[in-house]
Structure 1
Amino acid sequence: MSSTDYQGLLQKAVRAGDIEETVDIIQKVLQEGINPVAIVDEGLIPAIRTMGDLFEQGEVFLPHLMRAAEALKKGMALVSPLIEETTADQGVANTVIMGTVEGDIHDIGKSIVALLLSASGFNVVDLGASVPVNKFIGAVEDRTGDSIIVGMSALLTTTMSQQKLVIQKLTEKGLREKVKVMVGGACVSREWAAEIGADGYGLNAQEAVRLALEFA
């Protein structure tokens, strides 16, 4: 099975919520030596992102999205231990405070990034979805002795301004210099990250991990 073949087939299986097919494809490509991080980044994430977009557009409904999410979880259960094995020796000890910003309940992509960060040796504090500005600030204040990265996800254009508000509040509280801020999400761009004063932008889960490792 070629790289291109597996990507398309895996994405199709996840979108269809076909757990058996999702597991079968992943098992086969793992045997062929495909990098487990690539499986997540090139197969699982694009599939669930597409489903999220279709859901927002009203082209699929909640049961379809939930079935796709279940297939995603089964796939992640296969690759997560392998990712942990390959990254366990990096010895990173930084704390990453992760959350989807207030007003945005999408948290599958953010959760995948959190998983990969944890597997890479980071101490991940996952605040969940629709996280208020003050909750981000409180999480930073609670970890005064740590080296901290704040990661914020936004999938809606109506909520991305919350990323800017968190950075502004960090500055007001005198906390901005002690943290690195990275942002991501379907509606977020490198230009937006620069505009709001973030330290970096992750286009996908793999890039977010790479960025965090640079900050460490």
Structure 2
Amino acid sequence: MVSYEILAEGIMRGDASIVESEVNKALSEGAEARHILVNGLIGGMSVVGKRFRAGEMFLPEVLMSANAMHRGLDIVKPLLAKSGQKATEKIVIGTVEGDIHDIGKKIVVFLLEGNGYEVTDLGVDVKAEVFAQAIEEHEPVILGMSALLTTTMQNMGKTIDLLKEKGLREKIRIIVGGAPVDEQFARSIGADGYAPDAGSAVELVGKLITS
């Protein structure tokens, strides 16, 4: 039976070489790509997310873990595609128009990908129309919006208003986050949830998808 403990530990330590070696070893021992993804890669990043939220890991360490996880994903993704396996759910995420802050959003993306979601990152300074186009194109179950400025957080509400106009709002769940954002603001603009940090965002996505 294939053990994924060393693989998961490699991700937690941010050691891409260990991850690559253990993924290839598991494949050579007959492990399915799906099992490697769930038990090794996602398992390791899930622990990283919990430790980050608890303040036991910090941004540079999370970035190293994400890089290590992606090294493994690069190996198993083509195999998953061949077998017909796909990520569980699609998520579109971006920083709203006028805001170019990116680090917090990237951590959310890394953790979501590490938990098996297919994430389309639209980047920064994303106009409401671009969010709408991405929803039509990718058909996600979740839209995530981030803002770090009080002057740009209002564009979250404008984006939701546009989605309503286009008949897209009821097709997705919307979560928001960022330094100036709070639960009250999220409710006021009609979002489905607010996440104060990256770890909370992953938990919130899971709850919204299963509710």
Q: Same fold (TM over 0.5)?
A: yes
CA change 1:148–1:129 in 2 (3 A) is same
Question: Which amino acid in 2 is paired with 1:165?
Answer: K
Corresponding residue for 2:171? Answer: 178
Among residues 44, 52, 59, which one is paired with 2:58 in the alignment?
44
Report the counterpart of residue 213 of structure 1 in structure 2. Answer: 206
Alpha-carbon distance, 1:40 to partner: 3.0
Q: Take 1:119 and 1:78, find their aligned partners in 2: how far apart are those partners?
A: 10
Unaligned runs of 5+ in 1: 1-25, 28-34, 46-71, 86-90
- Unaligned 5+ segments in structure 2 are 1-11, 14-46, 73-85
RMSD between superposed Cα atoms in Å: 2.8
| 1:131 lines up with 2:126 in the alignment | yes
Gap change, CA 1:81 and 1:214, over 3 Å in 2 = farther
Instruction: Measure, in 2, the Cα distance between the counterparts of 1:151 and 1:82.
Output: 22
Matches for 1:32-181 after TM superposition, within 5 Å: 35-41=47-53, 42=55, 43-45=57-59, 72=60, 75-78=62-65, 81=68, 93-143=88-138, 146-181=139-174
The Cα shift of 1:80 comes to 5.6
Give the 3-state SS of the residue equivalent to 1:165 in structure 2. helix
The residue that corresponds to 1:32 in the other structure is none
TM-score, normalised relative to structure 2 = 0.65
1:141: how far off? 1.0
1:158-179 Cα distance to aligned partner (Å, 9 max, x none): 0000100110001000011001
User: Counterpart amino acid of 1:178?
Assistant: K
Q: Write the distance in 1 (CA, Å) between the matches of 2:185 and 2:70.
A: 30
Of 195-204 and 76-85, more deviation after overlay is shown by 76-85
Could you state the TM-score of these two structures normalised by the residue count of structure 1?
Answer: 0.64
SS in 1 for 2:58: helix
Residues 75 and 168 of structure 1: is their aligned pair in 2 closer, same or farther, counting only changes over 3 Å? closer
Deviation >4 Å, runs of 4+: 79-85
Provide the C-alpha distance between the structure 2 equivalents of 1:119 and 1:183, rounded to a whole number of angstroms: 20
